[in-house]
Amino acid sequence: MSSHGDPIPMIARKSAGLKGEAHVPGDKSISHRSLILGAMAVGETKVTGLLEGQDVLDTAKAMRAFGAEVEKRGDTWHVHGVGVGGFAEPGNVIDCGNSGTGVRLIMGAMATTPITATFTGDASLNSRPMARVTDPLALFGARAYGRKGGRLPMTIVGAEAAIPVRYATPVPSAQVKSAVLLAGLNAPGETVVIEREATRDHSERMLTGFGATVTTEETSEGRVITLTGQPELKPQTIIVPRDPSSAAFPVCAALITEGSDVLVPNIGLNPTRAGLFFTLQDMGADLTFENMREEGGEPVADLRAKFSPNLKGIEVPAERAASMIDEYPVLSVVAAFASGKTHMPGVKELRVKESDRIDAMATGLRASGVEVDEGEDWWTVHGRGFGDVPGGATVQSHLDHRIAMSFLVMGLATEAPVRVDDGGPIATSFPIFETLMTGLGADLGREA
């Protein structure tokens, strides 16, 4: 069943070349943070290009529940913040829908204010572990009461007198790092996060933009991020770049669909997010960066992707995993159309996303005639080459938007159509996916 209603079965059929410009939605990571940091600033933050998928809209509702004014006027979102430590206690349960990013960042933002809030989500989110965030938040003095295994619904009791924290993240996770840094805003002194592997750094960049003092140092321990607590955040005017994770779908579809030439403009190319595109180039993809520039402190470019019939399987560097963790499902689809094996190590995090993404993709790929090997933190796709991927499967999305979109992309180039049991979750992150892809010439849509 879909996260927000009845199941929406979808089908994708072998398509002629995809052509045109793909204007994908705004970056989801930056959209979440724009709303949360705007709510913690003093004054009015203006945001254009915000991703208006359900995940981000749920974060907007949450910020209202904590006392910020959040409204859309024209094409601009206006956030009147309450200041660091100024959150009010919500009157009702906070429903974060399908969004792990939203719930974990919001928990961090409120954990050092002496208020209590209860969080829930859809069936997928309520099955995901939250201890990875609540454990470090407890060091500040916050308390968490949830279901067995540290799962939602969960009540967070904010710290009465927060203390600063020094925390080494046990696994690479931008969500955990960001939750700790947001909690550190309302703690005195310096809060320090140490990560052995660099993860996406939107929080550090945006905290600095809002006026917080954040320093980053590469040491023998790893990357050490230090935040000075209790700043007065200053409101900002933010232009959200387009989401590289959303761009992955039209880009990958163009690479495997014969005759394609697609331009995806204004894509954020933060080096902690762009690993997929470099991996595709390593596989021999005809993928180029045009009009390289910087906007709002983030590198941006236009991506041009053309049909690439001679893709080769590769060993994806494990150290690249953090920069492309959400893109492995659609990468595995591209790998099916490459010649030879594509091995993807260091991806244990995929086991605890909206679904177990390794299992979900491996099951669907095998049902579509593609051989897959897998372990706890790795998987290997045995590519069949262009024109030799059978398809014909009906796959389960497991309430996971990226699983649904990945198999619909696959169906554009398989010999037989590919069906997805429920495309409803796509709306959480990419509400215009269907219209954008069909506008390029993709033969996909809903089944009665």
Question: Does residue 3 surpass a pLDDT of 50?
Answer: no
Average pLDDT, whole number, for the chain?
A: 95
> Which two structure tokens, joined as six digits, stand for 332?
């595995």
Instruction: Consult the annotation and say whether 402 binds a ligand.
Output: yes
- Greater confidence (123 vs 296) lies with 123
Q: Which DSSP symbol is given to 112? A: T
CA distance 309 to 184: 49
* Residue whose C-alpha is closest to residue 246's, from 264, 230, 259, 260: 264
Burial of 246 (0-12, 13-18, 19+ CB in 10 A): buried
Instruction: Consult the annotation and say whether 423 binds a ligand.
Output: no
Q: What are the chain's domains?
A: 10-26+241-446 (3.65.10.10), 28-229 (3.65.10.10)
Q: Please report which confidence band the pLDDT of residue 161 belongs to, taking 50, 70 and 90 as the band edges.
A: very high
> Among 95, 326, 400, 422, which one carries the catalytic annotation?
326
> Which two structure tokens, joined as six digits, stand for 264?
């995806």
Instruction: Consult the annotation and say whether 234 binds a ligand.
Output: no
Q: Say if pTM beats, i.e. exceeds, 0.85.
A: no
Task: Convert the pLDDT of each residue in 396-427 to its tens digit.
Answer: 999 999 999 999 999 999 999 999 999 999 99
Q: Which residues of 184-217 are buried (b: 16+ CB within 10 A; e: fewer)?
A: bbbbeeebbbbbebbbbbbbbbbbebbebebeee
Mean pLDDT of 214-241: 96
> Which two structure tokens, joined as six digits, stand for 104?
């974990």
Query: 182 and 105 in contact (C-beta within 8 Å)?
Result: yes
In DSSP notation, 70-82 reads: EEEETTEEEEEEE
- Greater confidence (294 vs 161) lies with 161
What is the structure's pLDDT at 322?
87
In the chain, the percentage of residues whose pLDDT exceeds 70 is 98
What is the structure's pLDDT at 64?
98
Place of tokens 């997010």: 273
CA distance 213 to 299: 21
Mean pLDDT of 142-154: 96
What is the structure's pLDDT at 1?
34
Burial of 290 (0-12, 13-18, 19+ CB in 10 A): exposed
In DSSP notation, 307-336 reads: --TT-B--B--GGGGGGSGGGHHHHHHHHH
CA distance 57 to 32: 9
Instruction: Consult the annotation and say whether 143 binds a ligand.
Output: no
Question: Does residue 2 surpass a pLDDT of 50?
Answer: no
> Which two structure tokens, joined as six digits, stand for 111?
């954990």
Q: Which amino acid is residue 290, in one-letter code? A: E
Mean pLDDT of 196-209: 91
Helix (H, G, I), strand (E, B) or coil at 123: coil
CA distance 144 to 137: 9
Question: Does residue 4 surpass a pLDDT of 90?
Answer: no
Instruction: Consult the annotation and say whether 104 binds a ligand.
Output: no
In the chain, the percentage of residues whose pLDDT exceeds 90 is 89
What is the structure's pLDDT at 198?
85
CA distance 128 to 112: 23
Q: Which secondary-structure segment (H or E) carries 224?
A: strand 222-228
CA distance 448 to 446: 7
What is the structure's pLDDT at 424?
94
What is the structure's pLDDT at 299?
87
Instruction: Consult the annotation and say whether 201 binds a ligand.
Output: no
Hey, CA dihedral for 301, 304, 305, 311, is it positive or negative? negative
Helix (H, G, I), strand (E, B) or coil at 413: coil
Mean pLDDT of 210-227: 96
Mean pLDDT of 315-327: 94
Query: 199 and 174 in contact (C-beta within 8 Å)?
Result: yes
Bin 102: left if φ > 0, else alpha if -120 < ψ < 50, else beta.
alpha
**Catalytic (active site) residue 326:** yes
244 φ, ψ to 5°?
-65, -30
Instruction: Consult the annotation and say whether 135 binds a ligand.
Output: no
CA dihedral 100, 203, 246, 199 (to 10 degrees): -80
265 φ, ψ to 5°?
-80, 155
Task: Convert the pLDDT of each residue in 253-270 to its tens digit.
Answer: 999 999 999 999 999 998
